[in-house]
Structure 1
Amino acid sequence: MDNALVVVDDTDMHRALLAEAGRLAHDTGAKLTVLAWITPDQVDETADNLEAIEQVEGTSYSEPEPTATAAQFARQFAEDVFESFDESIEFTADGIVTTENERADAIIDTAERLDCDHVFIVGRRRSPTGKALFGDVAQRILLNFDGTVTLKMD
């Protein structure tokens, strides 16, 4: 493992996955990128909330750049996870905006853009019918990423 990507969300399972990936990257000297994602609906909701605040306060706010917002979440989440470690874990943070249906492809594209050879993800347990009808992000990454995938089941 030379360059790893860890996909995170704000759950205990993702916290545990990131801790494992951080230790492994530190011990092997690998580069580590922490990736968070948000949906276009979340972007729109944030813009609507800012507009409502502007109308009430009579002020103006610049709209945050969505990928930067996701990257900031990834950075803060990783700092929170790694603060209890004895050693310093070096990482970079990145963010993407994607729909649920396109999330697997967006994660793979990000891993390829960053030249990652390892992806860490959390998967959900689903019935075979659920996978067939709704797809499965973890399964699509496992089948389509040209590298090692570590999957932690939720």
Structure 2
Amino acid sequence: MSVDTILVAVRDVDDQTPLLDAVVDVATPTDASIVLARAYDEEEFEKRVDELDFDGSPSTDEVARRSQSVRDAARVLQDADIEHTVRGVVGEAGTAFVELADVLDPDLLYVQGKGRNPTGKALFGSTAQTVLLNAPCPVTFVRS
């Protein structure tokens, strides 16, 4: 299987290093292009738009490009000389990442998670679990 496109689910976590190290390890030898995806729920998206003081109505991609977590991830990819683009989506994170994967048809999808127990997932939900169970492509889970 050739790897041309990798979708990376970027979230606001304390340390994206494990996720980005795994992505760089695969993208470098395959010369894959990366799509950094950032999901927002409706309320968070509107809050970000207000905070960032855009002229007019920005696209979700524009808002995502200005996200600190996306900028940090982009810097790591730039340092590794890996081509990337940024996509922003609005909706429940797990579902939004799966829907974006349906549209983009990536070869791989990377998601980072906390490694919670089943009870924690049932109580709080799990973006990673939604992606793992519903993505249209192979998914690599990277533990925080």
Deviations 1:121-151 (A, max 9, x none): 1011222222223321111211111321111
- 1:78–1:150 Cα change, 3 Å: same
SS in 2 for 1:151: strand
Aligned-residue Cα RMSD (Å) equals 2.6
**Which residue in 2 is equivalent to 1:15?**
17
- C-alpha deviation, 1:4, in angstroms: 1.0
- Does 1:33 pair with 2:40? no
Query: Retained in 2: the 8 A contact 1:67–1:97?
Result: no
- C-alpha deviation, 1:79, in angstroms: 3.1
Amino acid at match of 2:83: E
**Which residue in 2 is equivalent to 1:64?**
58
Amino acid at match of 1:109: E
- 1:63–1:35 Cα change, 3 Å: same
- Does 1:93 pair with 2:86? yes
**Which residue in 1 is equivalent to 2:126?**
136
Question: Structure 1: which 5+ runs fail to align?
Answer: 54-59
- 1:149–1:81 Cα change, 3 Å: same
Alignment counterpart, residue 109 of structure 2, candidates 115, 119, 123? 119
**Which residue in 2 is equivalent to 1:107?**
97
What fraction of aligned residue pairs are identical, expressed as a percent?
A: 32
Query: Retained in 2: the 8 A contact 1:19–1:82?
Result: no
Structure exhibiting the larger radius of gyration computed from Cα positions: 1
Distance across 2 between alignment mates of 1:78 and 1:104: 19
- C-alpha deviation, 1:106, in angstroms: 0.9
- 1:146–1:43 Cα change, 3 Å: closer
Query: Retained in 2: the 8 A contact 1:4–1:117?
Result: yes
Distance across 1 between alignment mates of 2:135 and 2:4: 16
- 1:42–1:146 Cα change, 3 Å: closer
- C-alpha deviation, 1:32, in angstroms: 1.5
**Which residue in 2 is equivalent to 1:4?**
6
SS in 1 for 2:109: strand
**Which residue in 1 is equivalent to 2:73?**
78
**Which residue in 2 is equivalent to 1:56?**
none
